[in-house]
Every structure is written in structure tokens, then in C-alpha cells.
Chain A
């Protein structure tokens, strides 16, 4: 059986109905948007269903879109079925005031560090994560550096005079 976009989307919609909020194809690559409250259920199905069998979580990352009211923070899952060599993308959006979503680290062990990274940079809270703390940045950092409201430049730098940068 060859796994493809239509088959996967139909199967997901039949199984989860309203929790599949939308989908789009970018080139031939399927993107599915899901209800963030149902993410663990959907991911577990994708992992354990015999026909889908997404055994490999390629990547898990965050996105910040400050203009999307009440769905500012995104969590993106890149899934890969190694046997069929088929990949697709799952997205779940969260409000920035309560960015919490269920962990996937009990489904793919590799999600553990990637969720810590997403927490580190975007402040997404992964519920039931075994060890949700910063992984790449210094422990005492007080903000989430990839959120758009924080400056990229280091604020302690003294040799940059705004006059010389036209600011």
C-alpha cells in the first residue's frame, strides 16, 4: 500500500473529524492543521496505526506569528514513515497567553529534547514532559529569545552607537 496525501487526509478526517481544522498542499507536501487540545491523541494514532506507522519524528519546532490573534504560537511536527518514505507536516496553534500542549515524548523519545528546545526559545509548555527546562540557552535567561517582541541584538553591547546605524 502506498501512503499518499489523499489517503492520509481521508483517514485522519474519518478518525478525528472536527479536530482536523484544515489542510493545504505546498508543492506536493501535505500540511495538516489540528486542534491543539487533541494533539496527543492524533499523534499516537499516527504512530501506532498499522497503515500509517509514522515511526520517525524528523523535527518538532515552534513558530511565532504575532499577528494571528489567539493563535500566535505554533508547534510544528514533521513526521516520516521510513518504510514508505512518506513525510508530512502537522501544525497546532496556541494562544500566547496560555501556550500549553500535551507532550509527544512518550510517543517518540526524540521529542524530549526538541520539546525542551521549543520551550527554551518560544515558551511553549509541554504538559507531562518529564524534564521541561532550558536546553540550549543559559539557565538564568529570563525571556524566550525567538519570540518576536524580544530584540535579537544583545542589550549589553556598548560599542554600537545608534547614531552610526541611522537609528
Chain B
């Protein structure tokens, strides 16, 4: 059970701000899109399994279509040739959307410091949470998802139309 947000409670009514209610709903029903390209993806499969069970966080519904996804989870090495595809997937997601870079490769290129590998997905799309590790344990991935939940819970409803957010997307050449 999710705790109710702070508000004014009386007999037969409860008053709080719309932001917190929507934030609570979003945070506890994230639909992740697993973009799994290598071993971090295997750790993610363990994260989804019954031992670690990401479903406890309301994120058991994988969305393999970017159009219904809230959370893009990039897990694994992204080759430069894969870059435009990842960017297209990101662009196809509807707002609000969050991105989590799982593992060293997605965060910085990892050990693959070479001409063919993208040196971190933040070269092409904005990232909200980085999960370190090579590969990270399922606990770390869960912690990353919980940090995303914190962001979703506390995000202002107007953030996505703010000037800063538009500038951020413009800096990545995303419309």
C-alpha cells in the first residue's frame, strides 16, 4: 500500500494538491521499456523475476512499444550504429518520460573505449538516473528505479513545458 500524501483530512473529505496525487499515481505505475543489449539486460531479467520482483514497485508491466512507455531503461553497450535507433525510441515516447542508464556501458561506454561504441547514452538523449556497476546487481537496478520514482513523485506538473526542459531537449536536437 502506498501512503497517502500530506493533506488536510476531515470527516468525509481529504484535500491535497493535484501535483502530489498525480505524482503518486505516476510513481507507482511506471511502465518501463527495457532496451537491453547485453549483460545488464540479464541482470534486469533477474530484477523482474520473483526473487527481486520489480512488480512490487508497480513497474511489472513492460512496454515493448515506446508509445505506451514512461521509463526507458537502457541496459548494455550501445554501439554508435545503434545510437540513432535509441534516439528514435526516445523520441517516440510520450511525455512525461524518464530515462535510466543501467551499467557502465550505458553510462559512459564502460570498458569499451573504442571507435565503434557510444561513450555513454547521454551523448544522444538526456538521462535522469545512472546506475553504476558492470553489471549492477538487481538491488542496484531497483534502487535506480526507486530514484526514478522519487523524481516522478516530486515532479511539478509544469516541468515538461518549462523553458529549461525545452532547452534541454533542444541541446540534444530533439523536437
Q: Identify the A interface with B (CB < 8 A).
A: 136-138, 141, 145, 150-154, 156-160
Contacts and interface: CB of A to CB of B under 8 A. Distances in A.
Contacts of B115: 137, 141, 145, 150-154
B92 to A, nearest CB: 21
Given A153-B114, A154-B109, A159-B108, 19 more contacts: A136-B81, A136-B116, A137-B115, A137-B116, A138-B83, A141-B115, A145-B116, A151-B115, A152-B114, A152-B115, A153-B113, A153-B115, A154-B113, A154-B114, A154-B115, A154-B117, A156-B119, A157-B109, A158-B119
A157 B113 contact: yes
A153 B115 CA distance: 6
A151 to B, nearest CB: 8
Contacts of B56: none
B117 A138 contact: no
A137 B123 contact: no
Does more than half of chain B's interface fall in helix, strand or loop, or is it mixed? loop
A37 B88 CA distance: 46
5 contacts: A150-B115, A152-B114, A154-B119, A156-B119, A156-B123
Given A154-B119, A156-B123, A157-B119, A138 B80 contact: yes
A156 B120 CA distance: 10
Does more than half of chain A's interface fall in helix, strand or loop, or is it mixed? loop
Contacts of B116: 136-137, 145
Nearest to B123: A156
- Chain B: number of interface residues, binned into ranges: 10 to 19
Nearest to A151: B115
A154 B112 CA distance: 9
- Sorted from nearest, which 7 A-B pairs have the closest CB atoms? A145-B115, A157-B119, A153-B113, A138-B80, A138-B81, A154-B119, A156-B119
A159 to B, nearest CB: 6
A144 to B, nearest CB: 10
B46 to A, nearest CB: 28
Interface in B70-118: 80-81, 83, 108-109, 113-117
A83 to B, nearest CB: 38
Contacts of A151: 115
Contacts of A153: 113-115
A152 B109 CA distance: 14
Contacts of A158: 119
B65 to A, nearest CB: 26
B114 to A, nearest CB: 6
